[in-house]
Copies of this chain bind each other. A is one copy, B any other.
């Protein structure tokens, strides 16, 4: 009797284990090639038991994508304890370094989710939309540090900037002509540049924030 395979797990642990195996497999192949049979095999459970936790293959794939998205959000959470929290560019730089590293480590996953078959599925798209909305919200929450007002133009700009970062990073993965540092800097500098174009009063606030630093 295989002890490893027969390990008793609580329902929550089993569900988490199956998702975790799916996320690992997603790093190596596109979502549509993740087979329920293989995952059940790796977990040492029957296909039937897997379908006890997930209503369908689609439901299982959706759980994998949701988990991947929260992992990315967790990895890229802004750190208010970076050296100088008064410098919003420093926070931004650490967020984008984490983003670029996450996407580089999970390039198969990320490109297949954003530009693959999954991008045409309404439920998957809802997960990406939600992820983007959270990334926008986080960015917008930093505005008070700069004394910048949250206007519709600023909100649109932040959404657009996230699309910019995604596109630039995916293009870079395909053809990395810049270094990691240059890519991060390109993504970082884009935000204040766009913000200044959307609301010129931000320029003054940025200058003030910079000169307030020691």
Contacts and interface: CB of A to CB of B under 8 A. Distances in A.
Given A120-B121, A125-B115, A196-B193, A162 B167 contact: yes
Interface string A117-129: 1111110010000
Contacts of A164: 160-161, 163-164, 167, 194
A145 interface: no
A157 interface: yes
A171 B156 contact: yes
B190 A171 contact: no
Contacts of A189: 197-198
Nearest to A152: B177
Interface string A177-199: 11000110010011011101110
Given A117-B122, A118-B120, A178-B152, A198 B186 contact: yes
B178 A168 contact: no
A190 B197 contact: yes
A85 to B, nearest CB: 23
Contacts of A165: 160
Contacts of A197: 186, 189-190, 192-193
A162 B168 CA distance: 10
Nearest to A189: B197
A118 B121 CA distance: 9
A153 interface: yes
A166 interface: yes
Contact of A153 (B160, B161, B186, B194): B186
A196 B196 CA distance: 12
Given A119-B120, A157-B168, A189-B197, 6 more contacts: A119-B119, A156-B178, A160-B190, A164-B194, A190-B194, A193-B197
Interface of A: 115-122, 125, 152-153, 156-157, 159-168, 171-172, 177-178, 182-183, 186, 189-190, 192-194, 196-198
6 contacts: A115-B125, A117-B121, A156-B168, A156-B172, A160-B190, A163-B166
